[in-house]
Structure 1
Amino acid sequence: MDIKIITDSSCDLPQDLVDRYDIGVVSLHVTFDNNETFTERVTINPEQFWERMAGSKELPKTSRPSPEAFAGAFREALANYASVIYLGLSSSLSGTFESAQLAAKSVPGDIHLIDSLTGSLGLGILTVKAHEFIQSGVSARAVVNKIIDYRNGMNTLFTMDSLENLIKGGRVGRLPGFIGTMLNIRPIGKAGDVGQIDVLEKVRGRARSLQRIVQLVGEMGSNLHEKMVGISHVNCLQEALNLKVNIEENYHPKNVIIGKVGSTMGTYAGNGGLIVSF
Structure 2
Amino acid sequence: MPERTLVVTDSTASLPPETAAEHGIVVVPLQVVIGAKVYDEGPGGATPAMVAEALKAFVPVSTSRPAPAVLLGIYEKAAADGFSSVVSVHLSGEMSGTFESAQLAARQAPIPVLPVDSMQVGAATGFAAISAAAVLADGGSAELAAETARERAALSSSFFYVDTLEYLRRGGRIGAAAALFGGALSVKPLLRVEDGRVANLERVRTAARALARLEDLVVEAAGDQQVDIWVAHLASAERAGHLTTKLSERLEQQLYGREVWCNELGAVLGAHVGPGMVAACVAPRLDVG
The residue number in structure 2 matching 1:143 is 145
For 1:84, the aligned partner's letter is: V
- Residue 270 (structure 2) aligned to one of 256, 266, 269: 266
Question: C-alpha separation between the residues in 2 aligned to 1:223 and 1:113?
Answer: 32
The residue number in structure 2 matching 1:103 is 105
The residue number in structure 2 matching 1:232 is 232
Change (3 A) 1:45 1:198: same
Contact 1:174 1:199 in 2 (8 A): no
Contact 1:188 1:201 in 2 (8 A): yes
Question: Quick one: percent identity of the two aligned structures?
Answer: 28
Q: Aligned ranges for residues 1-278 of structure 1 at < 5 Å?
A: 2-33=4-35, 35-41=36-42, 42-58=44-60, 60-80=61-81, 81-172=83-174, 179-181=181-183, 183-193=185-195, 195-224=196-225, 226-252=226-252, 253-254=254-255, 255=258, 256-278=260-282
Change (3 A) 1:120 1:19: same
Contact 1:13 1:259 in 2 (8 A): no
Number of residues of Structure 1 aligned to a counterpart in Structure 2:
274
Q: Which moved more, 1:82-91 or 1:8-17?
A: 8-17
Q: What is the CA distance between 1:239 and its match in structure 2?
A: 1.5
Q: What is the CA distance between 1:101 and its match in structure 2?
A: 0.6
Question: C-alpha separation between the residues in 2 aligned to 1:217 and 1:177?
Answer: 24
Contact 1:173 1:198 in 2 (8 A): no
Where 1:179 maps in the other structure, the secondary structure is helix
Where 2:153 maps in the other structure, the secondary structure is helix
For 2:193, the aligned partner's letter is: A
Query: What value does the CA root-mean-square deviation take over the aligned residues?
Result: 2.0
Change (3 A) 1:259 1:3: farther
For 2:55, the aligned partner's letter is: M
Where 1:92 maps in the other structure, the secondary structure is coil
Residues 124-176 of structure 1 show CA distances to partners (whole Å, capped at 9, x for unaligned) of 22122222222222111111122222122111111111100011111015955
Contact 2:135 2:141 in 1 (8 A): no
Q: Which moved more, 1:258-267 or 1:178-187?
A: 178-187
Q: What is the CA distance between 1:268 and its match in structure 2?
A: 1.0
Q: Which moved more, 1:249-258 or 1:197-206?
A: 249-258
Question: C-alpha separation between the residues in 1 aligned to 2:141 and 2:178?
Answer: 45
Question: C-alpha separation between the residues in 1 aligned to 2:162 and 2:187?
Answer: 10
Q: What is the CA distance between 1:222 and its match in structure 2?
A: 4.1
Residues 153-201 of structure 1 show CA distances to partners (whole Å, capped at 9, x for unaligned) of 11111111110001111101595595344633111111012x0110100
TM-score, length-normalised on structure 2? 0.88
Q: Which runs of 5+ in 1 are unaligned?
A: none
Change (3 A) 1:70 1:177: closer
Question: C-alpha separation between the residues in 2 aligned to 1:18 and 1:50?
Answer: 25
Where 2:181 maps in the other structure, the secondary structure is coil
Q: What is the CA distance between 1:217 and its match in structure 2?
A: 1.4
Where 1:271 maps in the other structure, the secondary structure is coil
Contact 2:118 2:154 in 1 (8 A): no
For 2:58, the aligned partner's letter is: S
The residue number in structure 1 matching 2:286 is none
Change (3 A) 1:175 1:188: farther
Question: C-alpha separation between the residues in 2 aligned to 1:249 and 1:173?
Answer: 37
Residues 22-45 of structure 1 show CA distances to partners (whole Å, capped at 9, x for unaligned) of 221111111123x11111114222
